[in-house]
Structure 1
Amino acid sequence: MLALCLGGSAITAAHAASPDATTKNITSPSSAEWPSFGRDYNNQRFAPSTQISTGNVKDLTKAWTFKSGVNASFQATPIVVDGVMYLSLPYDHVVALDAKTGAQLWRYEHDRRKDWQMCCGPANRGVAVGNGKVFIGTVDSRLIALDAKTGKVVWDINAVDAAVLTEGQESLDQDDPNSHKKTSGGTGIGISMAPVVYKGKVIVGITGVGYGLHIDNPRADAPLGAVIGVTGRYGRPGFLAAFDVNTGKRVWQFDTIPAKGWEGTFTPTTSDGVNLNRDLDNEKATFAQYQDAWRFGGGSAWTTPAIDTQRGLLFFGIGNPSPQMNDISRPGDNLYTVSLVALDVETGKLRWHYQQVPHDVWGYDLASPPVLFDWVHDGKHIPAVGQAGKTGWYYVNDRLTGKLLMKSEAFVPQHNLFAKATTEGVTLYPGILGGSNWSPSAIDQTKQRAYVAGIHAPIKYTLHEAPPKDGNPGIRYASSEPADEPRWGVLSSIDLSNGKIAWQQKIEQPMVGGVLITAGGLLFTGEGNGNFDAFDAANGDLLWQSKNDAGVNAPPISYEIDGVQYIAVAAGGNSIFGYKAGDSLVVYALPETTVAK
């Protein structure tokens, strides 16, 4: 559903007084730096360095390794500015390292709010650097500014003051096996995305507001067990907000669930005509009972926005509605969940939205970050925004209007797509894991290619109804859990001119972490088994591989110092996928003898 709304260089202390110095550095970064989450505001994750190439990548070796001492899911994108690497660790600690040697320059230890329940695990996806500060959003919903030279706290604010009601196992019938199993999270509020700095503002969003109750798998090396969407009034609307870089004062806030109009038009299909199997008569009949459902609507903001600096537009993806997978108490389209949204970057006002999946009951968050590029079609260059969906399609929308320009071939297998949960359980794919999860995709705009780390993970969706007793009609909920079927990863190159798959590589395990493309013709990505790989971006051939002790489930970056190109990536695993935890940041370079040739 498309809606239009009207109106709607090194970073040093010397630059601190000028917000445009930071903005300029991120708009046009040098090959020596990786100054923002997606390298620049476009989020293309394309590095212009050519020193490491298809011809010599076989010689790539470890230059240095930093051990953080924190063994947990490690998803951060390192930021490199003026020879310093700034790295967020699980549980929101931050270190500054010499980007050439790995020597620690300072370390910030985060002290979490004691009264704040962590909703969604300890992972943090990175910091933002600008105006002489390092900014981090935390699992306890704070936004903190650190002095970039010392790591000392400059300011520390609560992005959210009050916690929310979270579903618990006491909501389940006591005869339900899930009521006695260990859990690892539930609906709540945290911040996992890397912020972005733009014209004196630091922009970040909250997550976890429609997370659902996560049941642990009894095996540590196995993927997460069931995710449960319990009927009830849990959570709140998510938001994306901008804060003043110098004071932390809130400049604007966009709530991901509108107080009016959240029900939408009760559309029976996706905007491109795929049937959603909705019971619209029942939804309309029950709407009067649930007119305040927006107050608990969900809609997390999981990953860093992209910004069109020329047009003053910001683009970000919104997560699933709340309760997750359970739609009894939320009739309607549940705007703006599972939507790509464009805002005025100066005011936070809505310009347009494109809802990929209205009334989502599968967990199809827009998790992978949006990417800005010029889409070439019939000889015309059209400003576009791309996004790798959990649904398994790569979407390309007009940047100015939100119109869908192209939807790719499926980059992962699809089966029973949009089937509703049943009491017997129905298996479909892609499901709640994706498709493409939070992993950033990359784009080579010149070649009109998108590169996506994908997941094939069949998911069983089950509807649970407890028998009525003692006047209680029974608790009803929906769950998703991995089906007893093979799982694997899919690395894809997508031809943006026509949406066709240019090449694919099947990977042993589901892929989560993201990709890096370089002008040297290489694609770098990691695997859950500890492999860190380099592929030929032209044809998908594996050219090089390095083995690590933990899962490599974070996005790689490229930077240069003293004429040497480095590739850096975190190796710390991912608990949701059962990948081995670790605490390493690993940096690679060519030997001096190879560089000298």
Structure 2
Amino acid sequence: MNILCPRAICILLLCLLQACAANQNKTAQQANNQDWPSFGRDFTSQRFSPNTQINQQNVQNLVQAWQYKSGVVGSFQTTPIVQNGIMYLSLPYNHVAALDAKTGKELWRYKHDRRKDWQMCCGPANRGVAVADGKVFIGTVDARLIALNAQTGAKEWDIDVVEVAIAREGQEALNKDDPNSGRKVTGGTGIGIAMAPVVYKGKVIVGITGVGYGLHIDNPTADAPLGAVIGVTGRYGRPGFLAAYDVNNGKRVWQFDTIPDTGWEGSFAQTTDDGVTFNRDIAQEKADLVKYPDSARFGGGSAWSTPAIDIASDTLYFGTGNPSPQMNDISRPGDNLYTVSLVALDANTGKLKWHYQQVPHDLWGYDLASPPVLFNYQFNGKTVAAVGQASKTGWFYVHDRATGKLLKKSEAFVPQHNLFKKATAEGIVVYPGILGGSNWSPVSVDEMNQRVFVAGIHAPIKYTLHETPAKDGKPAIRYAASEPTKDARWGLLSAIDLKSGKVIWQNKTAQPLVGGVLATAGGVMFTGEGDGHFNAYNSQTGELLWQAQSDFGVNAPPVTYMIDGIQYIAVASGGNSIFGYKQGDAVLVYKLAL
């Protein structure tokens, strides 16, 4: 038996008292400081803050605390990451800045040197960094994954996620008499990284984009969203993937290809789970299978959205992009798995657990762009671990997290017309179209009140089939194009009851909404608009409570954090070129007036 002497007992008691005091100080510090440590705030990606300092009663007293001008003008989509009083930002073209989160003072900046021979597919925008293990991780427009020292910004490692560029479609594929053959091209099939990485159990996880992007033609109207998007028949692109890399050295741990080695034709689904028809010619597709035996090699399926992760089951959830060629299905019969799908993987190995394909054999550009979100779902009197996703088609989907079973599909949160109708030679107007619905904008979930807040888009799109017969020894040309109509377009901010699937309230905005939302336990939610408005709403009723004005479009997801007992709201303001919103270089931060 060990018996402690009186002196030892005194030392032990002193240590216990010191430990208690340290814990009390730590608790007090935690109460005064709340970070925004990752893209979706945590692995659930709910983007919901428990902070109540800013609330319905005082939100009208918000004033600008500081503004940061980066000097890099371009579509600005970043989610600011705040850890230990430092804000980390990805800028357009993959530059990175670290700021004092209280004052906006720049602490360091990394200037990205792009590969000179690399063609960007999708513009200069980046949706954020990940910060973990003393490093800042960023995926780049030239398909690199880079780790920076979080204290200094010095590069620690830099790897090529994809080493070789891929074949890209060009206007030379079009007939010289085609009006699109002489217009400015703003993007096309290529490889880059748009998503913010996520770090989990020593692995940084990121996916590639642009592999099924299509040929983007500039719109002659400056303030119009997008121009024509053309799906040219040909052997362009490659399969997309999501992969995990060791945080210490960048060595690849696993890779999941979004196009399977075999079976990408699927089961030739003719309807959705709830009976909506896809208007497919299944007999013709099956007959075409033998003509295109290697079509999966060019299958597309970009990984646009930062994954959500269930830490209890080590399951990772992410959405995939459209098949390639975009909107043109001659050379890709079948369902084109796993494109336009919500996918669940083992986060440790990258092995597939399940997938749910929202739109088999997609012809409209309905990629799953909005990030998935995890929440406990009140379903038939039981609590079910669920995963939700806001779609380009205009519905919010709720699935059983373990099996992928569809539990609920909300009522449409945007107008729907001619959904799943094919392009015609005369042109057919469809909405939602290639823009959505809900585009890449993250949602916010209030789990306690079982509500999801969605930024939506009403933008009618005309889908036209172009066919040129063979002539002068040249083969026939056939492609599908999507382009905006002259119809009115607007945004719709919606609160959806998760249990019933009904839209509780909805606000119409002057322009389509893109950028994302933030909700808090203070009963307020925040989102921005393309005209520079940054708004706070009563999350119960949708009433506009406060509004600020920026010089540039506010088209990025807001975040909130607390330092020294003061709550801040931050958002990037740099517009969006695809939607025609004024571009800039600002980060705006607000707090309550003293």
CA pair 310-29 structure 1, distance change in 2 beyond 3 A:
farther
Corresponding residue for residue 58 of structure 1: 60
User: 8 Å contact 2:32–2:562 — kept in the other structure?
Assistant: no
Within a 5 Å distance, the mapping from 1:396-545 to structure 2 comes to: 396-545=398-547
Corresponding residue for residue 250 of structure 1: 252
Which sections of structure 2, spanning at least 5 residues, go unmatched? 1-29
Q: Which amino acid aligns with 1:217?
A: N
Query: Cα distance, 1:578 vs. partner?
Result: 0.1
Q: With structure 2 as the length reference, what TM-score do the two structures score?
A: 0.94
Corresponding residue for residue 144 of structure 1: 146
CA distance in 1, matches of 2:356, 2:221: 39
Within a 5 Å distance, the mapping from 1:140-179 to structure 2 comes to: 140-179=142-181
Corresponding residue for residue 339 of structure 1: 341
CA distance in 2, matches of 1:197, 1:117: 28
Query: Cα distance, 1:466 vs. partner?
Result: 1.3
Q: Which amino acid aligns with 1:485?
A: D
CA distance in 2, matches of 1:96, 1:206: 25
> Helix, strand or coil: the match of 1:71?
strand
Q: Match for 1:376 among 378, 384, 394?
A: 378
Corresponding residue for residue 354 of structure 1: 356
> Helix, strand or coil: the match of 1:357?
coil
User: 8 Å contact 2:309–2:315 — kept in the other structure?
Assistant: yes
CA distance in 2, matches of 1:543, 1:214: 39
User: 8 Å contact 2:121–2:190 — kept in the other structure?
Assistant: yes
Corresponding residue for residue 274 of structure 1: 276
Q: Which amino acid aligns with 2:533?
A: N
User: 8 Å contact 2:32–2:565 — kept in the other structure?
Assistant: no
User: 8 Å contact 2:32–2:563 — kept in the other structure?
Assistant: no
CA distance in 1, matches of 2:469, 2:246: 53
Root mean square deviation, CA, Å:
1.0
1:282-336 Cα deviation digits (max 9, x unpaired): 1000101112111000000001000000011000000000000000000000000
> Helix, strand or coil: the match of 2:231?
strand
Q: Which amino acid aligns with 2:147?
A: A
User: 8 Å contact 1:31–1:48 — kept in the other structure?
Assistant: no
> Helix, strand or coil: the match of 2:254?
strand
CA distance in 2, matches of 1:54, 1:540: 11
CA distance in 2, matches of 1:31, 1:123: 30
Query: Cα distance, 1:29 vs. partner?
Result: 11
Query: Cα distance, 1:468 vs. partner?
Result: 2.6
Corresponding residue for residue 589 of structure 1: 591
Q: Match for 2:88 among 86, 89, 98?
A: 86
Corresponding residue for residue 285 of structure 1: 287
Count of aligned residue pairs for this structure pair: 565
Identity of aligned residues (%): 72
CA distance in 1, matches of 2:273, 2:339: 14
Within a 5 Å distance, the mapping from 1:293-312 to structure 2 comes to: 293-312=295-314
Q: Which amino acid aligns with 1:68?
A: S
Q: Which amino acid aligns with 2:369?
A: A
Corresponding residue for residue 365 of structure 1: 367
CA pair 510-31 structure 1, distance change in 2 beyond 3 A:
farther
Query: Cα distance, 1:31 vs. partner?
Result: 6.1
Query: Cα distance, 1:471 vs. partner?
Result: 3.0
Corresponding residue for residue 219 of structure 1: 221
Q: With structure 1 as the length reference, what TM-score do the two structures score?
A: 0.94
Query: Cα distance, 1:591 vs. partner?
Result: 1.2
User: 8 Å contact 1:316–1:369 — kept in the other structure?
Assistant: yes
Query: Cα distance, 1:474 vs. partner?
Result: 2.0
Structure 2 residue 66 is matched with structure 1 residue 70: no
Corresponding residue for residue 19 of structure 1: none
Which sections of structure 1, spanning at least 5 residues, go unmatched? 1-27, 593-597
> Helix, strand or coil: the match of 1:583?
strand
CA pair 30-180 structure 1, distance change in 2 beyond 3 A:
farther
1:395-438 Cα deviation digits (max 9, x unpaired): 00000000000000000000000000000000010000000000
1:77-128 Cα deviation digits (max 9, x unpaired): 0000000000000000000000000000000000000111011000000000
CA distance in 1, matches of 2:82, 2:305: 19
Query: Cα distance, 1:222 vs. partner?
Result: 2.5
What stretches of structure 1 move > 4 A for 4+ residues in a row?
Answer: 28-31
CA distance in 1, matches of 2:322, 2:227: 19
